[in-house]
């Protein structure tokens, strides 16, 4: 049987442990998996693009478990009362192919994206960072702000979005979730990033945009570029990446060349896959004046880590339900017999229900 984890199950997990604890636990899981990067069979995600969005499949596997995530990105979904991003995913046993977990991943992806940002910023941002600019105030923004506040000690967050209502929403949510965090509404991107230690860009528009220009970048900044996550969608002026004393880090380079800020760069532009920093094979930040960029497009290994975490926490809390998403048969070679037998059982059960209703009605009359 497969364990089904719904949005209600994940909400219960978060309510029990709290977001700060969830961020911390997930960073641990991420670091453990990134440290054994070479154990995984990796590939860039496959995508089906349309004029209004993208639907993607993100697989990864080691010699024990296979994982995938189905996820969309439709910036105009708010017009239909739907989230810009919606996702679900699964874990399966490599030895048998049996799906062991089927889980929601919309809320979980928001947590894992913020946790991935923290994993990188621990090694790339200055240790004395206190101020973060948050450009793009949509569904991911609360998670980024709270993760950096609780995990890295960010005391002030400066908000800007082209949609003032998005900033209203974010400011109200942060006031309730972290009243000690100083929230400043900025007039524009330049005002938000001026003097900031960390700049997080997490915009939603599906286009090559220049959210951050080279003139806005100051020595010592860490840039957490999250929004450029599909072909034709970027956020940074290419001159930022090529500036002196600047280093760029990515998740899985073959995917980042297609989807991230690297779309603008020459094929020989040098980047560092972040797993090398976690594994001690490459350096992170080396000086207070260095500018670091984490070009984060989202990678399947992060979803594998997140699925492992929610599976383990659900098991501890005895959450989730068992479902026969694949048939469990007395005779594994008799699929037809199982199908016919299931139909017969369903008919019999239905008749029993009808009989019980008729009996109850007769008694009542």
Catalytic residues: 229
DSSP classification of residue 13: H
Whole-number Å distance between alpha carbons of 75 and 255: 21
- Residue by residue, DSSP assigns 42-55 as E-PPEEEE-SS-EE
Enumerate residues 6+ apart whose C-beta is below 8 A from 364: none
DSSP classification of residue 243: S
- Residue by residue, DSSP assigns 301-322 as HHHHHHHHHHHHHHHHHT--EE
Residue with tokens 């990134």: 34
330-334 own/partner pairs: CB under 8 Å, 24+ apart? none
Per the rule left: phi > 0, alpha: psi between -120 and 50, beta: everything else, 10 is alpha
Whole-number Å distance between alpha carbons of 220 and 155: 18
Separation in Å, CA 194 to CA 129, 180, 209? 14, 22, 20
The pairing of beta strand 321-323 with beta strand 2-5? antiparallel
Whole-number Å distance between alpha carbons of 270 and 249: 9
Considering only the C-alpha atoms of the chain, give the largest distance between any 2 of them, rounded to a whole number of Å: 88
DSSP classification of residue 233: B
Whole-number Å distance between alpha carbons of 21 and 6: 20
Enumerate residues 6+ apart whose C-beta is below 8 A from 251: 116, 273, 274, 275, 296, 297, 298, 299, 301, 302
CB 126 within 8 A of CB 196: no
- Residue by residue, DSSP assigns 97-145 as --EEEEEE-HHHHHHHHHHHHHHHHHHHS-TT--EEEEE--STTHHHHH
């Amino acid at each position: 049987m497969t364990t089904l984890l719904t949005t209600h199950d994940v909400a219960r997990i978060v309510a029990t442990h709290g977001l700060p604890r969830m961020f911390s636990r997930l960073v641990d899981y991420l670091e453990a998996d990134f440290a054994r990067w070479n154990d995984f069979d990796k590939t860039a995600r496959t995508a089906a693009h349309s004029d209004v969005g993208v639907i993607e499949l993100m697989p990864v596997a080691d010699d024990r478990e296979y994982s995938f995530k189905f996820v969309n990105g439709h910036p105009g979904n708010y017009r239909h009362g739907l989230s810009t991003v919606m996702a679900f995913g699964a874990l399966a046993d490599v030895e048998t192919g049996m799906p062991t977990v089927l889980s929601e991943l919309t809320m979980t992806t928001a947590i894992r994206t913020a946790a991935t940002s923290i994993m990188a910023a621990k090694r790339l941002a200055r240790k004395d960072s206190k101020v973060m600019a948050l450009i793009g105030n949509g569904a991911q923004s609360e998670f980024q702000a709270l993760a950096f506040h609780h995990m890295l000690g960010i005391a002030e967050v400066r908000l800007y979005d082209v949609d003032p209502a998005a900033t209203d929403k974010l400011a109200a949510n942060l006031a309730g979730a972290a009243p000690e965090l100083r929230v400043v509404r900025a007039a524009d991107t330049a005002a938000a990033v001026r003097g900031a230690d960390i700049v997080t860009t997490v915009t939603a528009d599906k286009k090559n945009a220049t959210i951050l220009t080279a003139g806005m970048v100051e020595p010592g900044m860490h840039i957490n570029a999250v929004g450029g996550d599909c072909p034709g969608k970027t956020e940074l002026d290419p001159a930022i990446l090529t500036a002196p004393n600047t280093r760029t880090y990515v998740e899985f380079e073959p995917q980042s060349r297609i989807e991230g800020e690297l779309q603008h760069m020459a094929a020989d532009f040098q980047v560092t896959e972040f797993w090398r920093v976690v594994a001690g094979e490459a350096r992170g930040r080396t000086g207070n004046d260095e500018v670091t960029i984490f070009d984060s497009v989202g990678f399947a290994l992060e979803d594998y880590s997140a699925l492992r975490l929610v599976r383990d926490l659900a098991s501890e809390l005895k959450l989730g339900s068992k479902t026969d998403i694949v048939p469990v048969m007395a005779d594994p070679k008799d699929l037809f017999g199982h199908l016919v037998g299931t139909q017969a059982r369903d008919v019999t059960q239905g008749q029993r229900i009808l009989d019980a209703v008729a009996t109850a009605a007769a008694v009542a009359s």
